[in-house]
Amino acid sequence: MKFLSKIKLIFGQKYLATPWIVFGFLFLLTLSFKLIYLFDFAIRSPDEFFYIQGAKSLLDGKVLYKDFGEIKPPGIFFLYFFFQRFLDMKTS
Amino acid sequence: MIIVKGINTVFQTGSAFLIYLIGKKLFSIKTSFILSVVFILAVTVNVKFWPGHIMLLSLCPFFIFIYYLFDFTKNNLKISLFLSSFFLSLSFLLSTNFIFFTLIYPIMLYYIYRNSLKTLYFSLISLFGFLIPLAFFLFYLAINNAFNDWYWWSVEWASIYSSHYSLLRKIWSFLDSFRIVWQWTPLLIFSFTGFFLLMKEKTWSLNKLLIIVVFFISLISRLMFKGAERYSLYLLPVFILLLGVFLEKKIVQLKKNISSF
């Protein structure tokens, strides 16, 4: 019964109405479900490989669609580019 | 590699949190929280959804678009309209099929104002927001003299690639997608029940209209693609919204039944 009342307290309106608590919970939930994906170092999707390579090319100063091409829209390459740049992951 | 894969985790959490914020605008706090958890479960149950591909990552700006759209219907702020179309444009730059969602603006604005001039005026605001990210991309192409290359990859080669998939095959793939993503079966049952409950309502509201329009546009945009599992993610936002409708209506009904008992 104590356990049930604790669960009720956690999922009560007070905690659910606090955005940062909800965000933290969702982040931990996502992270726990993503552990295998995050630590499995192989790239399982060929698309993901294209995005990473595209972002690396952009970091090397190459021009999207001119120096390398894909039918995929530009946003995905720029997104990976910005993240790689932001996280200073530029490889030689 | 783990950091690159971390983008996916950040975007997924962001999307789930945005569902919570959207849910708070439309439903109760408990329902909005349930919806955000269901979203995380829905993108986890199939291994093919795990990689950080376009479909998953484009959902985050798409949910921001939905958030500001409902914010506009609630507060009638021009900035919300502008931001919604701005984020729709970012979604469009990630995945071109989001272009169909621009149809929401004239329908929604005419429903609100019932006046052609006002509809046109507010449509121009949304158009302005939509064009800004596109203008940046066009500027990038112009300074790098890459417009013809973009045209070849995105128009010529893309049409050659897509012509391998006839309309009948696309329709078959669409129907088959419900089989290959069988893990979503409970979600689909509750969401379609939510849709029928929404349609059964005799009164019309702006939110009801928007959910129905998003439902049909999502179906059309899914129809444009092949049968791989990841394309089903385009249907997830509307299924989540319809699940919210189902939960709200059923919880209210359940409370009534309990009180009458």
> What pLDDT, in 10s, does the model give residues B81-98?
999 999 999 999 999 889
Q: B63 phi and psi, to 5 degrees?
A: -70, -30
Query: Which residue in chain B is spatially nearest to A37 when comparing CA positions?
Result: B50
> What pLDDT, in 10s, does the model give residues A73-86?
999 999 988 888 87
- The pTM of this model reads 0.90
pLDDT (0 to 100) of residue B88: 96
Say if the Cβ atoms of B146 and A45 lie within 8 Å. no
pLDDT (0 to 100) of residue A92: 43
Q: What is the mean pLDDT of residues B28-52?
A: 90
Asked if pLDDT for residue B49 goes beyond 80, the answer is yes
On the CB side of B120, CA atoms within 13 Å amount to 3
Residues of A in contact with B95 (CB under 8 A): 73, 75
| Structure-token match 């120096």, residue found | A67
pLDDT (0 to 100) of residue A42: 67
Domain chopping of chain A, boundaries: 2-39, 46-86
Query: Which residue in chain A is spatially nearest to B55 when comparing CA positions?
Result: A76
pLDDT (0 to 100) of residue A13: 64
In the DSSP assignment, the letter for residue A63 is P
> What value of ipTM does the predicted structure carry?
0.86
CB B15 within 8 A of CB B60: yes
> What pLDDT, in 10s, does the model give residues A14-27?
677 788 888 999 99
Q: What is the mean pLDDT of residues B124-151?
A: 93
> What pLDDT, in 10s, does the model give residues B209-237?
999 999 999 988 887 776 677 888 889 99
* Chain B interface disruption, residue of A9, A21, A26, most B CBs within 10 A: A26
What does each C-alpha distance from B62 to A13, B114, B196, B253 come to in angstroms? 27, 27, 25, 31
